[in-house]
């Protein structure tokens, strides 16, 4: 923890909410999973957990003074300006920085999110005068939208498009600027305040549902831990320092191992069979389930995906993609599990 920064509650100290924590960790291991939608009651630690995760992550190497957090070697994560400097053979100044964690306010305008082009400067001086927005700041980090179900659908579309493609394009009066915007999109909301449209919900890689803890002993433990943190943050952080470091190293190892993880053809067929039987539209469900299963195997330090890996993540990947039947009493998560058990029973 840097000096003068407000202390952040440690990720490893968060009690319960395993589904949410797993979904977030897997998206950090493989950002191409496509983000997480977290739906649950108020006061269940959604924001605390997401901020704790951002604080836990290892620092990234960036090009110094670059507003897009450009990667020094990966062209896909580089701004146009940095790429031109690199092609010209100029030496880039590098800097280490914390993974950016950007909060998107509910009242944000499109210009604030995407960035703006100064047309007057572009026309009079002949330069592309671009003022970066929140998507630029979020590149290579986490973009968090609280109450995403209350956000304007048009803005949600922009966020999801950028998260899927890894790029943001701003066009004004015939001037076009494109910059990298690869981030883990995390949305949270309370189902009582309304659901997201199905076509937007489907674009989130995973969907975690969280509930208020009912067990009185667990509730007391959570309250006591929080009180201890508020009373003496430095001592509390010290207590969890080793666990935080162990988890940080696990994430780094998993990111390095990810491309080596194998997913057996027979398991891939069964995953697609589950998606087909559940009448999941499109192939996004199949792709995300495959990616998440590999990310989980990598996180656990294994080179091969097991059936148990698929069981642990398939509900997170598919529950929000099922067609809603208002007359059906069975929960969508149970429905996914039921079909999974039947199809995978002979493996």
pLDDT in tens, the chain (347 residues): 344 467 888 998 888 788 889 999 999 999 889 889 988 877 777 888 888 888 888 888 888 888 888 888 887 788 877 888 887 877 788 888 888 888 888 788 888 888 887 766 656 665 567 788 888 888 888 899 888 878 887 888 888 888 878 888 887 777 777 888 888 889 888 877 777 777 677 778 899 988 887 888 888 888 888 888 888 888 999 999 999 999 999 999 999 999 999 999 999 999 999 999 998 888 889 999 999 999 999 999 999 999 999 999 999 999 888 877 655 555 677 888 888 888 888 76
Predicted local confidence at residue 1, as pLDDT: 39
Predicted local confidence at residue 2, as pLDDT: 42
Query: Is 302 a catalytic site residue?
Result: no
Predicted local confidence at residue 27, as pLDDT: 92
Predicted local confidence at residue 4, as pLDDT: 45
Predicted local confidence at residue 268, as pLDDT: 94
Predicted local confidence at residue 124, as pLDDT: 66
Residue 158 CB coordination number (10 Å): 17
Q: Which residue has the tokens 């090009």?
A: 63
Give the helix, strand, coil percentages of the chain, each rounded to 5: 50, 15, 35
Interatomic CA distance for residues 49 and 61, integer angstroms: 24
Interatomic CA distance for residues 318 and 322, integer angstroms: 7
Q: Coil, helix or strand for 7?
A: coil
Burial degree of 299 (CB within 10 A; 0-12, 13-18, 19+): buried
Catalytic site residue from 140, 203, 284, 321 = 284
Interatomic CA distance for residues 236 and 238, integer angstroms: 5
Angle between helices 284-299 and 241-257 (to 10 degrees): 120
Burial degree of 98 (CB within 10 A; 0-12, 13-18, 19+): middle
Predicted local confidence at residue 121, as pLDDT: 64
DSSP conformation class of 16: S
Predicted local confidence at residue 122, as pLDDT: 58
Q: Please give the CATH number for the structural domain made up of 18-57+98-210.
A: 3.40.50.300
Domain formed by 259-343, architecture: Orthogonal Bundle (1.10)
User: What are the φ and ψ backbone dihedral angles of 283, each rounded to 5 degrees?
Assistant: -110, 5
Domain chopping of the chain, boundaries: 18-57+98-210, 259-343
Q: Coil, helix or strand for 234?
A: helix
Predicted local confidence at residue 180, as pLDDT: 86
For residues 191 and 180, the answer to whether their CB atoms sit within 8 Å is no
Residues whose CB is less than 8 angstroms from the CB of residue 211 and which lie 6 or more positions away in sequence, other chains included: 40, 41, 44
DSSP, residue by residue, 173-229 = TTEEEEEE---EEEEEE-GGG-PPPHHHHTTSSEEEEE-----HHHHHHHHHHHHHH
For residues 155 and 4, the answer to whether their CB atoms sit within 8 Å is no
User: What are the φ and ψ backbone dihedral angles of 282, each rounded to 5 degrees?
Assistant: 70, -170
Tokens, residue 323: 């067609």
Q: Coil, helix or strand for 130?
A: strand
Burial degree of 313 (CB within 10 A; 0-12, 13-18, 19+): buried
């Amino acid at each position: 923890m840097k000096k003068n920064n407000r202390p952040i509650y440690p990720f490893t100290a968060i009690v319960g909410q395993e589904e949410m924590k797993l979904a977030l960790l897997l998206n950090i291991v493989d950002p191409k999973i496509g983000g997480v939608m977290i739906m649950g009651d108020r006061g269940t630690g959604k924001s605390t957990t997401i901020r704790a995760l951002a604080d836990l992550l290892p620092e990234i190497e960036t090009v110094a003074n670059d507003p897009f957090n450009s990667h020094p070697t990966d062209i896909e994560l580089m701004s146009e300006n940095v790429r031109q400097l690199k092609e010209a053979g100029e030496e880039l100044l590098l800097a280490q920085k914390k993974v950016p964690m950007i909060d998107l306010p509910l009242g944000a305008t499109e210009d604030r999110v995407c960035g703006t082009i100064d047309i007057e400067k572009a026309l009079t001086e002949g330069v592309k005068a671009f003022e970066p927005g929140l998507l630029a700041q979020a590149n290579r980090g986490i973009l968090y939208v609280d109450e995403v179900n209350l956000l304007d659908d048009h803005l949600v579309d922009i966020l999801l498009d950028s998260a899927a493609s890894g790029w943001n394009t701003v066009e004004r009066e015939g001037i076009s600027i494109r910059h990298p915007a690869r981030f883990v999109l995390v949305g949270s909301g309370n189902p009582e305040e309304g659901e997201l449209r199905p076509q937007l919900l489907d674009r989130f890689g995973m969907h975690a549902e969280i509930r208020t803890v009912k067990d009185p002993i667990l509730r007391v433990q959570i309250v006591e831990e929080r009180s201890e943190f508020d009373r003496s943050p430095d001592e509390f952080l010290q207590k969890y320092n080793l666990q935080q470091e162990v988890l940080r190293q696990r994430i780094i190892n998993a990111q390095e191992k990810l491309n080596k993880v194998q997913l057996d053809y027979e398991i891939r067929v069964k995953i697609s069979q589950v998606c087909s039987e559940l009448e999941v539209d499109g192939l996004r469900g199949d792709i995300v389930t495959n990616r998440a299963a590999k990310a989980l195997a990598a996180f656990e330090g294994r080179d091969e995906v097991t059936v148990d890996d698929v069981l642990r993540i398939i509900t997170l990947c598919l529950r929000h993609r099922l067609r809603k039947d208002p007359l059906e009493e069975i929960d969508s998560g149970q429905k996914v599990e039921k079909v999974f058990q039947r199809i995978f029973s002979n493996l």
